[in-house]
Structure 1
């Protein structure tokens, strides 16, 4: 059995941390999706067609 450095059993803190990270990633994704595409980028994309 592997011991954690502080002697505590793992599990609950990791789940909470994972949830916090997941929430932060979802928030960042939602913000990015809501941003407008700059005109310069749209012009470049049109040149690819």
Structure 2
């Protein structure tokens, strides 16, 4: 039910974290996977 909102939110969060976080993590890769999932579900 809220799958699209969840993927979109976490995608945005990951982009922000990539800019401001000092923790080494693949935030942009995570954002990419979340937005890919968002667009896959949206197309269904």
Q: Do both share a fold (TM > 0.5)? A: no
More helix by share: 2
Larger Rg: 1
Q: Which has the higher contact order (CA 8 A, sep 6+)?
A: 2
Place the TM-score, normalised by the shorter chain, in its bin.
0.3 to 0.5
State the TM-score, normalized to the length of structure 1. Answer: 0.40
